[in-house]
Amino acid sequence: MKNKLIDRLQILSISLIWLLFTGIAVWILNLIKESLRLHDSPDASLGISLVAIPVFFTLSSVLTYVFIGLRKGRRKDVEH
Amino acid sequence: MEKAPAAPNPDYDLLRPIEDPGKSFYYIVAVLLVIILYTGYVYIRQLYYGLGVTGMAQPVTWGFYIINFVFFIGISHAGTLISAILRLSKAEWRRPITRMAEVITAIVLAIGGLHPIIDLGRPDRMTHLFFNGRLQSPLLWDITSITAYFTASTVYLYIPMIPDIAILRDRGVKPRWLYEFLSWGWQGTAQQHKVLDRAMNVLMVVVIPIAISVHTIISYIFAMTVQPGWHSTIFGPYFVVGAIFSGIAAILVLMIVFRKVFRLERYLKLIHFNYLSVLLLIMSLLWFYFTFSEYLTGYYGHEPNEMRVFWYKFSGAFAPYFWTMVTCNFLLPLILLSNRKTRTIPGILIASISVIIGMWLERLIIVVPSLANPRLPYPTGIYIPSSTEWTLFIGGVSVFILGYMMFARFFPVISIWEIQEGRQESTKAVTERITSYMPDPQPPLAKE
């Protein structure tokens, strides 16, 4: 029961990481949309988004890789 | 499943603060909590009465909060950046230092990042950024880069901590569920080590440009304006150098404190202090070079508005702060750290504290004089911080100390598994590395 709860919490934490990434990406894309609508130097907004979105994507991917990799890399015969 | 009692760990000294924190830990936490609660009350009072309770007024509309913002974010460069550089360059002496440094980054970034919000009379208006922000503004670049740095630093702190969390889990340390949750089933298999190594390699490369970008962008808040004393092309690297400089000083102070309090002399040896203090000395020289270049260019141009700010700092109202800054950041470290006889633990402690004070003064000298001497024909402004600002500053420092103590209460501040790995593998790895870049012996001549 306790192990199942911890498993669920771990899966939830991976989802939260991607929620953070999605939130930031949506926020930046919304600001680009606004700058295009108002003709307010959209090139600067595009420049920032080109850097920021991949950075957060990389961080989320690395964490997901670690979490999934560690679970897969466990010995089958030992249980924590 | 109940576990058998864990075998005694050869590095028990590193687990003692977690398993047996002692009464003094709780006393200090209580004192810090009182200070933080009072700080909370003072902040709520500021919210109620507005920024009139601070010393800020026209034309000096940025004061302690922005100074502390730049200062705290600067200190954050202690951790992740220095740790990543040491890891990338495979400096073996890094092992007992990296985590202590990385923790500084995570805590200080959270504190520093809150300061611009404290600086707002109406913090609720921060929400406007989400819907109506302008990505053309350096302030928004700041928010993006600080968020990225905070995320990267926390990930970079957490991932190499997983094997140590598993040690705590296996020893049955409470709260067990926390260690089970955070250890992700770590068993130290070859596959798990491979995953950890790969992730760390990616993070080391990603984190360095992010860290450099953070302080460069903070400098842009000033440099992108045409205010005298701020509009400078070298502000980016100048801020980065200053940040690393103050960061190293902060690590040294913490290392000395932890060594003394937790009796970690076996881990934090004189050689570690020697290497880091030489790095501090190099940064002091670099800082002086940048400061000299910055002011010489301004002086040589002799532009009237620029010169008003220049003389305000050199011989005017801010001269005591300016020359104290030069003494703290350059003269004292140079005298103490360039001489082997004074490059001792007390000498390094004095130099490091002096650098922390000097770097705070540097932020003060950058922020206030340019605002006090505006380009427009207004009289020179006055800024005297109020008790509210002082309290919030002390509160910020208390949050940092409390955060660090709480971290040390639940997790080892020195990486146990990296120390053990170093003992087992470093000698072989270093020998192989040295052999790989040493010239091959000359082949015997044909005659011989």
Give CA–CA dist B18/A30, Å, rounded.
45
Q: For B189-242, what is each residue's pLDDT tens digit?
A: 999 999 999 999 999 889 889 989 888 999 998 998 888 889 889 999 999 999
Measured between beta carbons, which residues in chain A are less than 8 angstroms from residue B131? 30
Task: Answer whether A79 sits within 8 Å of B1, measured CB to CB.
Answer: yes
Q: Which runs of E-coded beta strand occur in B78-150?
A: none
CA distance to partner chain B, nearest, from residue A29 (Å): 10
Task: Answer whether A69 sits within 8 Å of B135, measured CB to CB.
Answer: no
Q: Are B257 and B273 in contact (CB under 8 A)?
A: no
- Chain centroid offset of residue B97 CA: 13
For range B360-385, the mean pLDDT? 90
- Per DSSP, B221 falls in state H
Q: If pLDDT is split at 50, 70 and 90, which confidence band does B436 have?
A: confident
For range B17-27, the mean pLDDT? 88
Specify the 3-state DSSP secondary structure of B63. coil
Q: Which of A48, A58, A71 sits opposite B184 (nearest CB)?
A: A71
Q: Which of B132, B148, B191 sits opposite A52 (nearest CB)?
A: B148
Contacts of B144 (CB under 8 A, 6+ apart): A28, A48, A52
Quote the crossing angle between the two packed helices B138-158 and B80-88, to the nearest 10°: 60
Q: How many residues make up chain B in this entry?
A: 448
Residue of A nearest to B206 (CA): A55
Give CA–CA dist B389/B57, Å, rounded.
13
Q: Given CB atoms, is B267 within the 8 Å cutoff of chain A?
A: no
Chain A residues with a Cβ under 8 Å from any Cβ in chain B: 2, 6, 9-10, 20, 24, 27-28, 30-32, 34-35, 40-41, 44-45, 48-49, 52, 55-56, 58-59, 62-63, 65-67, 69-75, 78-80
Q: Is the pLDDT of residue B70 over 90?
A: yes
Q: Is the pLDDT of residue B7 over 70?
A: no
The predicted model scores a pTM of 0.90
Q: Is the pLDDT of residue B441 over 90?
A: no
Task: Answer whether A31 sits within 8 Å of B136, measured CB to CB.
Answer: no
Give pLDDT, residue A17: 92
Q: Which of B144, B162, B184 sits opposite A48 (nearest CB)?
A: B144
Q: Is the pLDDT of residue B308 over 50?
A: yes
Write phi, then psi, for A4 (nearest 5 degrees).
-65, -40
Give pLDDT, residue A80: 47
Task: Answer whether A69 sits within 8 Å of B210, measured CB to CB.
Answer: no
The label of the residue with tokens 């999934």 reads A68
Q: Given CB atoms, is B137 within the 8 Å cutoff of chain A?
A: no
Token pair in block for residue B296:
């010489």
Residue of A nearest to B196 (CA): A66
Give pLDDT, residue A34: 86
Q: If pLDDT is split at 50, 70 and 90, which confidence band does B448 have?
A: low
Residue of A nearest to B127 (CA): A27
Q: Are B372 and B61 in contact (CB under 8 A)?
A: no
Q: Which of A56, A65, A73 sits opposite B148 (nearest CB)?
A: A56
Question: Tell me, what amino acid is at A30?
Answer: N
CA distance to partner chain A, nearest, from residue B204 (Å): 11
Q: For B161-188, what is each residue's pLDDT tens digit?
A: 999 999 999 998 888 889 999 998 899 8
The label of the residue with tokens 């910055």 reads B294
Q: For B379-421, what is each residue's pLDDT tens digit?
A: 888 899 999 999 999 999 999 999 999 999 999 999 998 888 8
Residue of A nearest to B201 (CA): A62
CA distance to partner chain A, nearest, from residue B127 (Å): 12
The H-or-E segment that residue A8 falls in is helix A2-37
Q: Are B145 and B152 in contact (CB under 8 A)?
A: no
Measured between beta carbons, which residues in chain A are less than 8 angstroms from residue B174? none
Task: Answer whether A73 sits within 8 Å of B206, measured CB to CB.
Answer: no
Q: Is the pLDDT of residue A78 over 70?
A: no
Q: Is the pLDDT of residue B2 over 50?
A: no
Give CA–CA dist B91/A69, Å, rounded.
27
Q: Is the pLDDT of residue B133 over 50?
A: yes
Q: Are B100 and B258 in contact (CB under 8 A)?
A: yes
Q: Is the pLDDT of residue B152 over 60?
A: yes
Q: If pLDDT is split at 50, 70 and 90, which confidence band does B3 have?
A: very low
Contacts of B315 (CB under 8 A, 6+ apart): none
- Chain centroid offset of residue B380 CA: 34
The percentage of chain A sitting over the pLDDT mark of 90, rounded to a whole number, equals: 34
Q: Is the pLDDT of residue B446 over 70?
A: no
Token pair in block for residue B88:
């990338």
Give CA–CA dist B364/B98, Å, rounded.
30
Q: Is the pLDDT of residue B125 over 70?
A: yes
Give CA–CA dist B273/B279, Å, rounded.
10
Query: Could you tell me where the DSSP H helices lie in B224-269?
Result: 235-261
Write phi, then psi, for B219 (nearest 5 degrees).
-65, -30
Give CA–CA dist B233/B165, Å, rounded.
45
Quote the crossing angle between the two packed helices B80-88 and B235-261, to the nearest 10°: 90
Q: If pLDDT is split at 50, 70 and 90, which confidence band does B353 have?
A: very high
Q: If pLDDT is split at 50, 70 and 90, which confidence band does B435 have?
A: confident
Phi-psi region of B439 (alpha: psi -120 to 50; beta: other; left: phi over 0): beta
Contacts of B176 (CB under 8 A, 6+ apart): B169
